[in-house]
Amino acid sequence: DIQMTQSPSTLSASVGDRVTITCRASQSISSWLAWYQQKPGKAPKLLIYKASSLESGVPSRFSGSGSGTEFTLTISSLQPDDFATFYCQQYNSYPLTFGGGTKVEIK
């Protein structure tokens, strides 16, 4: 199984900050990576697919980059609605696996 490791597990930031979350795969997954945002009590929401493609309707302040084993999700200017937990997910091979999550908290 491919292990996905996210860092940090928790991040404290202020509105307007630039935020970067890292996701590392235990082996190469090319660009087969998605990012999701989850708010408490809600289902995850797709943000990014194929490492850097923005899902329709997602604000352009979200961006993804990387390939192989190292990926990043960047929020260019953190907004109040962005405080949530973010997960990466690989779809290079079965079983599909998720990172452990990064909680973005208000500083």
Partner 1 sequence: QVQLVQSGSELKKPGASVKVSCKASGYTFVGYAMNWVRQAPGQGLEWLGWINTNTGNPTYAQGFTGRFVFSLDTSVSTAYLQISSLKAEDTAVYYCARDFRMDSSSSDYFDYWGQGTLVTVSS
Which member of 13, 46, 54, 58 binds partner 1 (CB under 8 A)?
Answer: 46
Q: Tell me: cis bond preceding 95? Omega within 30 of 0 counts.
A: yes
Return d(Cα 92, Cα 33) in angstroms, integer.
Answer: 8
Which member of 19, 23, 37, 44 binds partner 1 (CB under 8 A)?
Answer: 44
Nearest distance, CB of residue 34 and partner 1, angstroms: 4
Reading the block at residue 91, the tokens are 């779809």
| Residues of span 70-89 touching partner 1 by CB under 8 A | 87, 89
Q: Is residue 99 at the binding interface for partner 1, with CB under 8 A as the rule? A: yes
Q: Is residue 57 at the binding interface for partner 1, with CB under 8 A as the rule? A: no
The answer to whether 32 touches 48, Cβ cutoff 8 Å, is: no
